[in-house]
Chains A and B, each alone.
Chain A
Amino acid sequence: MQITMNYNKTAKIGIVLFFIGLLATPAALDKLDQWQQEGSNKEGQEQALDRYGFYMKDVASEVGIDFKHNAPQLDPRLNHIMPQVASVGASVSVSDFNNDGFHDLYLTNSAKNTENALYKNNGDSSFTNVAKELGVANLNDQPKKNGTSMGSIWGDYDNDGYEDLFVFKWGKPELFHNDKGEGFTRVTDQANLPSWINANTAVWFDYNRDGRLDLFIGGYYDEEINLWDLENTEIMPESFEYAQNGGRKYLFQNLGNGKFKEVSKELGLVSNRWSFSAAAIDLNDSGYPDLVVANDYGVDELYINREGKKFENMGNQAGMGFSPKSGMNVSFGDIMNQGKYAIYVTNISEPGVLIQGNNLWMPVTSSSEKELKFQNMAGNLGVELGGWSYGAQFGDLNNDGYLDLYVANGYISADKESDYWYDFSKVAGGHENIISDASNWPAMDGRSLSGYQENRIWINDGAGKFQEVANAVGGSLKLDSRAVAFADLTNNGTLDVVVATQDGPVKIYETRVKKEHSWIEFKLNGTVSNRSAIGAEVELYWDGRSQVQTVAGASGFSAQNQRPLHFGLGANPDVKKVEIRWPSGISQTIESPEINRKHTITEPEN
């Protein structure tokens, strides 16, 4: 009897202690996390260089870039929620528009009568805005009639050796022909582009490999909606995660002579999801570029290109078509140096309210078409929790031979003391008749919504883990960041970072990298393939490893990186060879290319 009583007492004490232990677990894990992060606090340049291999410094004003984005002002009936409806439009695209060997920047603005900017790189660490004199500045003066700018991409659609400019808008898209780097001619009308698309993404790619760049455009709001002149307020998504009342998709086949033909329906690109980002790459080694689309209020879409004759949505079969989130970015990177691309899609994470987590779709089987499968490994690799994330780019920021990741965060930074999350979550969970009507949304009244969030800079250790170092390397930024682009602005072998912020200034981060780390770049010129070489794949072999990269016609959120492909090599590299697979199907191998220089390579014609 005594033994039983003692046993019961002991068991009870044990269970109470177990319960207390459970309650204390989150605090203990938090402490452990803090202890592990202690090393990532702000450090001096030399310590950061020594520990992480690079350091960043904001040089926007030093190099003469004082651009500030201004958000659009839409129909007054949206005034009560204007900050969340007009929350995009800040973008950046990189191009050497005058072929002088230095990367230039095109930045979009969105408020009425504001101008877009084309910053010409003078080659002496200074920039000059030449948008007005070259005719690509005034695109926002009549929003009700022509809409306003959302982003831009560069591509040589007529293969004349100069990159042409396409500006996508909430409104009339615009195509500008580059007149040998000395000016631009508006060619929108002869190109047969539609009169209105509420677009937030576009991609240049040669989907049928005929040597001419074609154009994909993804709609966000329905193209029937003029956001400056609403017929009614039923313009919002019908669901927070299952909406299919967004804009349609367009695929313009390049017919040559400056003419395009819209072929999306006959090729199977039919979707009315709310597309925020798209990018193209050959994921199944078919030789044809496939298309990945990140949709707000829905699932990610994977369109497999069937020899340029059809696109098939294989998202479900590939494991990407479930788990609807708020997709805002598509970028590709061979992050494990295994010759395969991971796909990074950003979403929303707000502690305690909504934790979607960003997606890092890693290929999990052989790359043969039938078995194309992806698994979300963002949590395993440590790149899941960004914030309210927008643009992201992979690039080797410290030239150590592994691709790092920059992620832009922050939605609406307004009143610091109050936020809109309660009202947002109230309506976001509601029935489609409620959520889809803007008049049902409570007024924001100057409140923040996931504002003042810090951008993330994750460096890749090459062994399957990323470490967050933004603060430590001088890259801390808490503005409402949207687009991110990487470019070597000074031709010194390092990737600098350009960040376009919503309703805020553009930031230019000059990167300083550990001296011992080497690099190599490849600028490709197509001859049989499209002149921009978009879609060309370069695989570099060195020190017993390899990395593959593809020339892209768009990457990230409303962004485009520099055209040349940049590879970091680490210290004392022994580069064996580089293999180039051109979109035409032609392959080329260069043995032992010289390191620490940019190689310009022209496609052989056989």
Chain B
Amino acid sequence: MQLIAKVKKQISEFQYNRGYTPPLLITGILLAAHLSFGILEDYTKLGIAIGASMATELVLHRLLLGEWRNLNSAYISGISVGILIRSPFLWPYALCAMLSIASKYVLRFKGTHIWNPSNFGIVAILLLAYDNVAILSIQWGNNMWPMLVIWIIGFVSIWRLKRFHICGTYVVSFLAFAFIRSFISGDPFLAEIAPISGPMYQLFVLFMITDPVTTVKSKKGQYLVAFLIASVEMIFRLNEAVYAPFYALFIVGPVAMIIEKWWKEKQQAEAGSNVAVQQENA
């Protein structure tokens, strides 16, 4: 009886933490895609990616900061790697997940990491192990309904997290640039917008470019950065880079973070010196 009462009390006191939304959302997308279309060839590769990601997070965080870390972020990184990487071997899944997490602890600027972990890991593995990996680039069924359901659930969730404007800006910019690319290359407009209807972009738009830690803080800046990612992506696409969005985020994301931090420090310094002058004048 005591146990039941205890459980009841815990349930009544449970408060949903917004931080649960991204891991739940990505798990939901994975389950829906796998149960509908069997996108995972086996669970081992996904398990290795999630396991390696979490283990790396636990060990590195403990070593550096002496405490255990919440694993939400590592879980998302691991599951992203598990879905996006395609390789007949097991080691790229582990390596990509470990690189993703380790980059957070090594590649830092003024106290924070500046690359989205999964984006860093995926670009690194593409550049370093080109012969052994590819990225998920095919549709989950090429059917309108699963695609729409994932986009709608994803956008609603992102709306609740107040980051919909980032996704919206990127998607609108992508469509506009698709029109320009079609004009330049002479390829059909539908061919240019085809990629955004695929799962690779769903993960990219819903999870990578909205990552709270590695996106700039000001809302105007977020609009601008989303637009710039789509712009740089267009340049990569005109040069026939298959994984253009990942490369674009890899370049634009950290540069934007560095500029924002530099700008903020400059503003703080100016504000500080103004206060000092005012105090002196007073």
On A, residues with C-beta under 8 Å from B are 8, 11-12, 14-16, 18-19, 22-23, 25-27, 29-30, 238-243, 299, 321-324, 349-357, 376, 378-379, 384-385, 421-423, 425-435, 437, 439-443
CA gap between A440 and B133 in the complex, in Å: 28
Residues A11 and B38 in contact, CB atoms below 8 Å apart: no
Give 20 A-B contacts (CB < 8 Å), ordered by A residue: A11-B63, A12-B64, A22-B99, A22-B102, A26-B95, A239-B139, A241-B138, A242-B141, A349-B88, A352-B126, A353-B137, A355-B132, A428-B137, A430-B139, A431-B147, A432-B144, A434-B193, A440-B191, A442-B187, A443-B187
Further 19 A-B residue pairs, CB within 8 A, beyond A23-B128, A324-B38, A441-B191: A15-B106, A19-B103, A26-B128, A29-B129, A239-B141, A240-B139, A323-B41, A324-B37, A355-B132, A356-B86, A384-B88, A385-B88, A423-B191, A428-B138, A430-B139, A430-B193, A431-B139, A432-B142, A443-B187
CA gap between A8 and B139 in the complex, in Å: 46
Q: Is B152 among interface residues, defined by CB-CB distance under 8 A?
A: no
Instruction: Say how far B221's CB is from chain A's closest CB, in angstroms.
Output: 29
Residues B130 and A351 in contact, CB atoms below 8 Å apart: yes
The answer, among A25, A238, A357, A434, for a CB contact under 8 Å with B197, is A434
Which chain A residue lies CB-closest to B131? A351
Q: Which residues of A contact B129 (CB under 8 A)?
A: 26, 29
Residues B134 and A354 in contact, CB atoms below 8 Å apart: yes
Residues A16 and B106 in contact, CB atoms below 8 Å apart: yes
What 9 A-B pairs come out closest when comparing CB atoms?
A: A430-B194, A239-B142, A422-B240, A429-B198, A322-B38, A26-B129, A442-B187, A357-B88, A432-B142
CA gap between A22 and B170 in the complex, in Å: 32
Residues A379 and B88 in contact, CB atoms below 8 Å apart: yes
Residues A442 and B185 in contact, CB atoms below 8 Å apart: yes
What are the interface flags for B57-73 relative to A under an 8 Å C-beta threshold, 1 for contact and 0 otherwise?
00010011000000000
Which chain A residue lies CB-closest to B64? A11
Which chain B residue lies CB-closest to A421? B242
CA gap between A425 and B200 in the complex, in Å: 12
Q: Is B188 among interface residues, defined by CB-CB distance under 8 A?
A: yes
Q: Is B241 among interface residues, defined by CB-CB distance under 8 A?
A: yes
The answer, among A26, A322, A434, for a CB contact under 8 Å with B41, is A322
Q: Is B91 among interface residues, defined by CB-CB distance under 8 A?
A: yes
Instruction: Say how far A356's CB is from chain B's closest CB, in angstroms.
Output: 8
Q: Which residues of A contact B60 (CB under 8 A)?
A: 15
Residues B197 and A431 in contact, CB atoms below 8 Å apart: yes
Q: Is B262 among interface residues, defined by CB-CB distance under 8 A?
A: no
Q: Is B3 among interface residues, defined by CB-CB distance under 8 A?
A: no
CA gap between A430 and B240 in the complex, in Å: 17
CA gap between A38 and B106 in the complex, in Å: 37
What are the interface flags for B247-279 relative to A under an 8 Å C-beta threshold, 1 for contact and 0 otherwise?
000000000000000000000000000000000
CA gap between A239 and B143 in the complex, in Å: 8
Instruction: Say how far B166's CB is from chain A's closest CB, in angstroms.
Output: 22
Residues A425 and B190 in contact, CB atoms below 8 Å apart: no
Known contacts being A8-B64, A431-B144, is A15 close to B194, with CB within 8 Å? Answer: no
B residues 181-237 with Cβ under 8 Å of A? Answer: 185, 187-188, 190-195, 197-198, 200
The answer, among A27, A324, A349, A355, for a CB contact under 8 Å with B128, is A27
Q: Which residues of A contact B242 (CB under 8 A)?
A: 352-353, 421-422, 425
Residues B102 and A355 in contact, CB atoms below 8 Å apart: no
Residues A429 and B88 in contact, CB atoms below 8 Å apart: no
Instruction: Say how far A49's CB is from chain B's closest CB, in angstroms.
Output: 31
Residues A353 and B197 in contact, CB atoms below 8 Å apart: no
The answer, among A12, A239, A322, A355, for a CB contact under 8 Å with B133, is A355
Residues B95 and A435 in contact, CB atoms below 8 Å apart: no
Q: Is B27 among interface residues, defined by CB-CB distance under 8 A?
A: no
Q: Which residues of A contact B142 (CB under 8 A)?
A: 238-240, 242-243, 430-432, 435
